[in-house]
Structure 1
Amino acid sequence: MLMYYANFVSSPEGYFQTVLCNAPRFVPTVANHDLHHIQWDVPPRQHPHALTLGDMDRMVRSDAPFARKFARDDPVLDAIDAQLLGGRGGNGTAAGMFVRGGWCGESGDCEGAAGAEDWVLRPGPGAERLRRLMDRIVRSEAFANRQCK
């Protein structure tokens, strides 16, 4: 398997799933979905379409927690930081931090967070999107037929 992936175009994207699907203990826990929003050109090319601000709405509606491919320094990356990740100090998040109100205090103070629940990671807005996606995946009629074989 290592020899195969050493010569595979996108080896990091398939290696982990291949290992899981070949470990009998994990086969029943694997969903055939990589949790990525990817847009391909028609007809498909070797690499996916580079996502831009024009793709933002479709990307968010996909509910996928990951997306690719992005051009370096494209404005869509700043939009993701500001609107989805709450970066740049917005939405109660300390500047440069992505976790809102979780391991940090409600004020965004990560250094002085203390108290009975300072270990709790509270779900942010993306948790609901992930829940919807996972519901669609596991409730699909094709779910059992699309697991590892």
Structure 2
Amino acid sequence: MSSSSEINHGGEIRGFPVKCECGLRVKPYLSKTQENPGRPFYRCITKKDGHLFKWVEDAVCEEVEDAIPKIEIIGRKLTNTITEVDELKTLIKDLKEGVARSEMEIKKWKALMMLCFVCVCFVVICIAFLMFGKAMKSKSAFTSM
């Protein structure tokens, strides 16, 4: 997580350093002292006193410390997202059930409309037969005179 390497806190560069405070590059070295043989550190390429010097394990520790709050934020966002997904799944399920109920209701209304249509047709046919029958009687009454 080298993103925190550019963070400067009161003159201290946190995390993995890229540049010294003087603006020059920082380079990794291995200690050759008796107290810290082979211990890795970062140092300004000028190697002058007062310029950046940092042990690698300190940089790693700072990177982890700076990453923990970001990871916690991501964790909270992930938890919120999972909750939202669960709510959306429930909403989708409810909507599907509503669609199924609506489809059943539409089928019932179609059947009722078909029944009404048949009834209306039957009534129209009955009325037509009654009127045709009366017309035939009237016609036969006029023809018999």
TM-score (norm 2): 0.24
Task: Compare the two structures and name the one with the higher strand fraction.
Answer: 2
The answer to which structure has the higher helix fraction is 2
TM-score normalised per structure 1: 0.23
The structure with higher relative contact order (CA 8 Å, sep 6+) is 1
Larger Rg belongs to: 2
